[in-house]
Amino acid sequence: MAPAFVAAYRSGSVMGFLLSSLALAVLYGTIQAYRLYFRDDWASLYAAVAGYGLGGSAVALFGRVGGGVYTKAADVGADLVGKVERSIPEDDPRNPAVVADLVGDCVGDIAGMGADLFGSFAEATVSALVLSSVSALGAQHGWTAMCFPLLISATSILVCIATTLLASHVAPARSIRQIQPVLKSQLIISAVLMAAAMAPVTLGALPRSFAGVFAFDPARECTAWRVYVAVFSGISTALLIGLVTEYYTSFAYAPVRDVADACRTGAATNIIYGLALGYKSVVVPVLALAAAVVVAYEAASFYGIACAALGMLGTLSTCLTIDAYGPIADNAGGIAEMSHMGDDVRERTDALDAAGNTTAAIGKGFAIGRRVAEAVCVRACALRQADVADAVCPSFSSALRWLRWRCSAASSRRRT
């Protein structure tokens, strides 16, 4: 089992580290090239670099939507032709649609997810750079402080390398029961190491205090610790989303078993129960995202929200690794079935594939959660560029103060 797990995991890590490192390198090279033209006009420089995020989102649109439609159409088509019309097993070599199904896994679950997370990385990083360029960091021309969003991504790559070595060299899965715990530990370890590593990086890259972050009060100073709190809120929220997704999609917990039990009474109960379970599964992630946005905004205004979004991307390489692991294991099972390798080989690939379905769901949860914070970042950049943030930010702050007052009033009533 260990060689098969390591082969699938290392293959997924190629996807994870290649995307994150290339995205960071190309963005840094673009900034350096634009510096030759804009020189000291940093606000215009980073406003021009914002096109990098637009290009990433355009690629994500075609890769995610187009690839997702293709993979589902190929999967359903292969099942209809094979299981329904011809009554032959799944991944049977007599069914030519199986090849389209295998290709669809690569197109939708690897290329599509990679394009989606690349778009998230591009827009979140560019938003943080634009917001910092109009603060005291840009006015004082602090190059290291201005590159703090890039340092978050660079630190995440180093942390994810150390985390990946644990699963591929130190403690890989040596039995079927160890597959899911090893993949789950990758999420937890990478998040913990990222939170610990960002403390010295934040304190070393940013000045102790700087102004211009709070749009409604430009003279108000923001400290480096406040920015770290924003980054930490993003890291913890991403970990919570991953754990909740793993709970609702892993065969080791009650929700998946309850869905399987619902199949005994027919397809209708299966569909109804599965749909209800899907709606229930988003409650905790939505509340966690809302809490992260509020905490980040209170810590460092919209710049804090941008840093929180980058904190959610702090485990990007690990997330992409375990996400790409899923279709790799799935295609390995298809190849084993088509080449008649034997029941023992098929049993191992099915175990790897079962854990891969959970990791694919975790990747989708990460991508959607990060899009929420990224949307707030893009809106903040638009408000700052249009010089209307002064009118919007006090309203947001007043709403938060009203919410705190209502919570304290409700607590007082319960005590009495």
pLDDT at 392: 47
User: Which of these, 302, 292, 286, 285, lies nearest to 396 by C-alpha position?
Assistant: 302
Mean pLDDT of 60-78: 79
Mean pLDDT of 324-345: 81
Mean pLDDT of 185-203: 90
In contact, 28 and 38? CB cutoff 8 Å: no
pLDDT at 382: 67
Q: What is the DSSP letter of 49?
A: H
User: Which of these, 276, 274, 195, 203, lies nearest to 237 by C-alpha position?
Assistant: 195
* Separation CA 353–CA 333 (nearest Å): 7
Reported as half-sphere exposure (CB side, CA atoms, 13 A), residue 28 has a value of 17
3-state secondary structure of 213: coil
- Encode pLDDT of 83-107 as tens digits: 777 777 777 778 887 888 788 778 8
Mean pLDDT of 260-266: 85
pLDDT at 391: 45
Please, what's the b/e burial string for 273-308 (b: 16 or more CB within 10 A of its CB; e: otherwise)?
A: bbeebeeebbebbeebbeebbbbbbbbbbbbbbbbb
Query: Which residue is listed with tokens 């919209």?
Result: 302
* 180-185 long-range Cβ contacts below 8 angstroms, 24+ apart: 180/250, 180/252, 180/355, 180/358, 182/5, 183/322, 183/325, 183/355, 183/358, 183/359, 184/243, 184/246
Two structure tokens written together for 103 = 């290709």
- Encode pLDDT of 232-255 as tens digits: 998 999 888 888 888 888 877 888
pLDDT at 212: 66
User: Which of these, 314, 120, 126, 154, lies nearest to 230 by C-alpha position?
Assistant: 314
In contact, 274 and 286? CB cutoff 8 Å: no
- Encode pLDDT of 271-290 as tens digits: 888 898 888 888 998 899 88
Two structure tokens written together for 108 = 């939708």
Instruction: Read off the pLDDT band of 407 (50, 70, 90).
Output: low
Region for 340 from its dihedrals, namely left if φ exceeds 0, alpha if ψ lies in -120 to 50, beta otherwise: left
Domain residues of the chain, as ranges?
Answer: 2-385
H/E element, 282 = none
Neighbouring C-beta atoms of residue 408, cutoff 10 Å: 10
pLDDT at 406: 60
Q: Is the pLDDT of residue 129 over 90?
A: no
* pTM for this prediction: 0.83
* Separation CA 256–CA 268 (nearest Å): 16
Q: CA torsion angle for 243, 249, 251, 257 (degrees, to 10)? A: 120
List for the chain the helix, strand, coil content (%; round to 5).
85, 0, 15
3-state secondary structure 72-84: HHHHHHHHHHHHH
- Encode pLDDT of 365-397 as tens digits: 777 777 777 777 777 666 666 554 444 454 455
- Encode pLDDT of 16-50 as tens digits: 898 889 989 999 999 889 888 887 777 788 888 88
H/E element, 211 = strand 209-211
Instruction: Read off the pLDDT band of 200 (50, 70, 90).
Output: very high
Q: CA torsion angle for 321, 233, 135, 401 (degrees, to 10)? A: 150
Instruction: Read off the pLDDT band of 155 (50, 70, 90).
Output: very high
Q: Is the pLDDT of residue 401 over 70?
A: no
Angstrom CA distances, 26 to 123, 227, 351, stand at 14, 25, 38
pLDDT at 194: 92
Two structure tokens written together for 211 = 């102004």
Mean pLDDT score of the chain, rounded to an integer? 80
* % pLDDT > 90, the chain: 8
